Amino acid sequence: MKRYLNYINGEWVESASGRFAVNTNPATGEVLGEVTQSTREDVDRAVQAAKQAQKSWRLVPAPERAEILYKVGELLKERKEELAQILTQEMGKVIEEARGEVQEAIDMAYYMAGEGRRLFGDTVPSELRNKFAMSVRVPVGIAGFITPWNFPIAIISWKSLPALVSGNAIVWKPASETPFIAAEFVRIYEQAGLPKGLMNLVYGSGSVVGNAIVDHPEIDLISFTGSNEVGRQINERAGGMLKRTSLEMGGKNAVTVLEDADLDLAVNGIIWSAYGTSGQRCTACSRIIVHEAVKDELERRLLERIAQLKLGNGLDESVDVGPVINRSSLEKIDEYVKIGLDEGAKLLCGGRIVTEDGLEKGNFYAPTLFTDVKPDMRIAREEIFGPVASIIPVKSLEEAIEVNNSVEFGLSSSIFTRDINRAFQAMQDLDTGIVYVNAGTTGAEIHLPFGGTKGTGNGHRDSGVAALDVYTEWKSIYVDYSGKLQRAQIDNY
């Protein structure tokens, strides 16, 4: 059986715990390998290696640091198909989406490599004569990453590439469900020539390894993507130590369909964002807010399309919807369907664990659609993270926006309309970090900020140039070449 070990200070090492956890393919139940389970001591070793490595890395010119990122991009490109296959086997998403995810990491590598020659600060006039003023970005130090399984290569690329180009070192705990793709990503850094100690991978549970990263006094910042519940705990623990925390904690994203929408386009957008990745995207559409004038027609067209979706192993190119990540996720989704029925929502299709057609060994849930859902029902407010969408009828754009904004989360939203005025009204009033017009709620591009408002985040963003704000401190520098003491705010007035 394949064994996966920690990567600390440039060496692949087993944890002294001697414990291993098995990893399985969510589509087939097949055991893929076993993974070392680390302790607080392993995290500390990783931090010491990171600390040592960062001392010299911070002094390497950013364009030189970026050369390694270009190499990372090239290696990812060369291995794109192989990485996509590993990703699908381990995480379950269909192969086309897995290829798209690897592409996201490639794009991010090249984009952030470009930042090596920018990393802009400001030069501004001083209020005094013969004095120069500027601000520059400097690295924060050691970044602790805790990442999820749903985008196991894209999300670590959003975090690690800006961190490294800015001169930081990393200690990373990937999700327990996707250890192998994590190892491959680290191997790419290794092959690209990243100096040892800058990227450290520590496998294990959130309660041991995750907490050890959050609590470690020498880790300067935490970047986390995952549930709101865990994010809040991290914020409390790390906040008490005055650490910077960048949190992305999910969504309850809605597509709004107005009565003038192109319904075929809206159906395409909904199917892709509600059932793609089996609904396991932070940006997945789980609410469909529809004008009552087109509700029946939209339902009819959606049901027609859902009936055509093929469930199965994501490695099969003809499959549209893969498995969900594990048994407990499957049970949670099923539990939400029962909650929806108890609350009085009308089930239009799905609503069951699929155990036939050779799918019984995997974690398959039938694409599910509820209608006549009220905005205050739990299925319309809580993140289900599975292929379940709820239709909420409304009477106007104003009501749609109110319903959209009524939930705890604020990651992504979308509106389908042909009316430019109403589209702009929605862009202005939808309270989410990402807004789409005439497209579904998924499909973020790496050069724009990714993150959200309210319970989705704490004001920081992954990816885009905004990511640099997470991984750098501002340093303001004044150079006085007047040869005398000049007192700001005093000598010039």
Q: Which residues bind ligand SIN (CB under 6 A)?
A: 151, 281-283, 442-444
Rounded least distance, CB 400 to ligand SIN, Å: 21
Pick from 413, 371, 389, 476: nearest CA to 137? 476
How far, in Å, CA of 115 to CA of 94, rounded? 32
- Longest CA–CA span in the chain (Å) reads 84
SS3 168: coil
Q: What six digits make up the tokens of 30?
A: 């097949």
Nearest to 100 by CA among 414, 446, 466: 446
Which segments of 395-465 are extended strands (E)?
409-410, 412-416, 434-437, 453-454
Provide the minimum distance between the beta carbon of 344 and ligand SIN in the complex, in angstroms, as a whole number: 30
- When the beta carbons of 99 and 422 are compared against ligand SIN, the nearer one is 99
Cα radius of gyration (the chain) = 24
Q: Which has the closest alpha carbon to 368: 308, 416, 303, 284?
A: 303
282 belongs to the catalytic site: yes
Tokens 């990893």 appear where? 23
Q: How far is the CB of 405 from ligand SIN (least distance, A)?
A: 19
Shortest distance, position 148 Cβ to ligand SIN, whole Å: 8
> Residue 281 Cβ, how far from ligand SIN at the closest point, in Å?
3
Closer CB to ligand SIN, residue 371 or residue 463? 463
Q: Which is closer to ligand SIN, CB of 243 or CB of 281?
A: 281
- Between residues 157 and 371, which has the closer beta carbon with respect to ligand SIN? 157
CB of 96 to ligand SIN, least distance (A): 13
Contacting residues for 490 by C-beta, under 8 A, at least 6 apart: none
The neighbour count for residue 82, using CB atoms within 10 Å, is 11
Instruction: Rank residues 45 and 281 by Cβ distance to ligand SIN and give the closer one.
Output: 281
> Buried (b) or exposed (e) across 320-340, using 16+ Cβ within 10 A?
bbbbbbbeebbeebbebbeeb
Q: Is 143 helix (H, G, I), strand (E, B) or coil?
A: strand
**Annotated catalytic residue 285:** no
**101, 248, 299, 383: the active-site residue:** 248
Which is catalytic among the residues 97, 104, 282, 299?
A: 282
- The dihedral sign for the CA sequence 215, 62, 460, 403: negative
Catalytic residues, which ones?
Answer: 248, 282
